[in-house]
Structure 1
Amino acid sequence: MIVVTGATGNVGRALVDRLLAAGRPVRALTRDPQRAALPDGAEVVRFRPDDPAALFGGATALFLYAQAGAADLLAAARAHGVRHVVLLSSGIIQEGADETHPIHVMHATVERQIRDSGLDWTFLRPNAFATNALQWAPQVRAGNTVHGVFADALSAPIHEDDIAAVAERVLLDGGHEDAVHRLTGPAATTNAEQVAAIGAAVGRELTFVETDPREAGPELFPHIPPHMLERLLRSFEDTIGVPPEITNTVEKLTGAPARTFARWARDHAQDFDGRD
């Protein structure tokens, strides 16, 4: 049995689908099983840390989101037979990184807790997620102009299913204990180029209009806690004209090259267009 936390998230849901397709038993943890809409083959369990037997009984492996990680949870997993934990960490953890950045602090803390837990571990450290572009979906559905910060900021966004594909191989193949895998998409792209790719996917010409970052707020970043926004904006500004890290980890571990942002945009065209 493989336990998947964050099973309704972009990566978690894709991983549940992959593990079920491979014929592996999956226990999908979610805070609201009634609204999860997960596949029938998954054992859907309410995420209640105070009932560790329901979460981990009979399980041998755990896929963990950093937000769900805690020393007590890891101890409970180990006590109930889990041997290997695969953490969805962050590419922000690297040599020379700003260790005071809130995202670094959160993921580094969970990584340390896992190292101290006595469990075998594997850390997946993706950089930019292609799904971050979903922040523009309301604007694309409303018209052909997208307002955002730093049109020329560069990243190599990774498709969420490529992260799930790596997680699947790490969980099923073995040999990845105490390994760190850095994950990226296959090519650099600017924010303006991403918007153009989304336009191609929905059959419309979209225009990216750069917003002064001093005026950026919840309307552009509704899911970012206000206390983190200033630091994130500085991080984005630092990527202007700077080639991003690009790895071949996806292809090396899965046998298939990482998918382009244009492919991601086609896969998510309905999210932006709102039509079947």
Structure 2
Amino acid sequence: MTILVTGATGTVGRQIVAQLVARGERVRALTRNPAAARLPASVEVACGDLTRPQSLAPALEGVTALHLITVGGDDQAALQTGPELVELAAKAGVTRVSVLSSWDESSVEEALRAREIGWTQLLCVEFMANALEWAQSIREEGVVRVFGNNPGAVVHEADIAAVAVAALVSDGHAGESYLITGPETLTPAQRAQLIGEAIGREIRFEELSEAQYRASMEAWGAGEELIEFAVQLGANPPDAASVVLPTVEQVTGRPGRTFAQWAAEHATAFLL
């Protein structure tokens, strides 16, 4: 059985590839830039672009399980190519699909619902890896600046991958929609403190005002639509973001990884 992983060089995709390899599975990884993939030697790297469905046809040969993401292109916009991608997968004989969805569904989920392919939807709250956005300010100033110090059940990318792997290699997950969370709720200030403990340095936390946050995003070159979305998310996060669910343990048989574990694993990113 060959498993094709799209988004294979992304935050979650790399974890899926690594966990499948550790299980001894045959893995094919799809990327738009194979030369920069930096994946394990046993992985077959294939070139393809989800916004150009026909580019996937060679990569799907002999594939029986497929991990899909729902965004693509340089702007990571929601895919409009779901029907073509799902048609290609069906013709190739794919029988299991895991889909890492955004909060707003795309053409991928719509197309899968119209076909008789067993698929599993993965929905996630905030990634622990988003804390890497704080790395520069921690290294240079010892500070984390955030708009909205709201608690969240942030989830380790390896746990998202573990649920995806279960759906790709074992029965009983088709038709399920899994909301994946971490094992605890933490505010950004608490996460900053845990990073400080991991690197042996006190980290200062500063909560930005809305005006300061808007100005910082404008300085990054963010567009008006993205700024409005980010402001609303910081001011009024969805209730689901702060609810701990047992999904990881139910699917994988072990508890989800804590943010303290994540911080220890990524400590070097926050050090000069």
Question: Does the alignment reach a TM-score above 0.5?
Answer: yes
Quickly say closer, same or farther: Cα 1:248–1:191, change in 2 above 3 A.
Answer: same
Structure 2 partner of 1:101: none
Kindly tell me the number of residue pairs found equivalent between the two proteins.
259
User: Does residue 81 in structure 1 map to residue 93 in structure 2?
Assistant: yes
Contact kept, 8 Å, 1:150 with 1:236, in 2: the verdict is: yes
Gaps of 5+ in 2: 73-78
- 2:217–2:227 CA contact under 8 A, matched in 1: no
More displaced, 3-12 or 265-274? 265-274
- Letter of the 1:178 partner, please give it: G
SS in 2 for 1:155: coil
Counterparts of 1:1-276 in structure 2, within 5 Å, are 1-48=2-49, 49-68=53-72, 69=79, 70-90=82-102, 92=103, 104=104, 107-151=105-149, 153-217=150-214, 219=216, 226-239=224-237, 244-274=242-272
CA positional deviation for 1:249? 0.8
Alpha-carbon contact 2:128-2:262 (below 8 Å) kept:
yes
TM score, norm. by length of structure 2: 0.88
Instruction: Please say which of residues 9-18 and 227-236 is displaced more in the overlay.
Output: 227-236
**Cα deviation digits, residues 57-102 of structure 1 (max 9, x gap):** 0001110111145221111111111122110114x4xxxxxxxxxx
- Give 1:213 shift: 2.1
Deviations 1:199-244 (A, max 9, x none): 1111100011111122324856959665223123212222499981
Distance in 1 between the 2:164 and 2:241 partners?
26
Question: What is the aligned partner in structure 2 of residue 99 from structure 1?
Answer: none
Closer/same/farther in 2, CA of residues 170 and 245 from structure 1, 3 Å limit: same
Cα deviation, 1:160-186, whole Å, max 9, x if unaligned, reads: 001111111111111111111111001
Q: Give the AA of the match of 1:71.
A: P
Distance 1:223 1:269 in 2: 28
Within 2, Cα distance between the matches of 1:30 and 1:193?
A: 36
The code of the aligned residue for 1:233 comes to: V
Query: 2: distance between equivalents of 1:160 and 1:238?
Result: 24
Deviation at 1:27, TM superposition (A): 0.6
- Paired amino acid for 1:18: Q
- 161-170 or 51-60, which deviates more: 51-60
Q: Flag the 1:242–1:33 CA change in 2: closer, same or farther, 3 A.
A: closer
TM-score (norm 1): 0.87
Code of the aligned partner of 1:125: L
Q: 1:224 to 1:44 in 2, by over 3 A?
A: farther
Say if 1:154 and 1:241, in contact at 8 Å, map to a contact too.
no
Alpha-carbon contact 2:195-2:263 (below 8 Å) kept: yes
Stretches of structure 1 lacking an aligned partner (at least 5 in a row): 93-103
Secondary structure of 1:216 counterpart: helix
Q: Secondary structure at the match of 1:72?
A: helix
Extract structure 1 runs of 4+ deviating beyond 6 A.
Answer: 240-243
Q: Distance in 1 between matches of 2:221 and 2:180?
A: 23
Q: Please report the RMSD computed on the Cα atoms of aligned residues, expressed in angstroms.
A: 2.2
3-state SS of the aligned residue for 2:182?
Answer: coil
How far off is 1:52 after superposition? Answer: 3.2
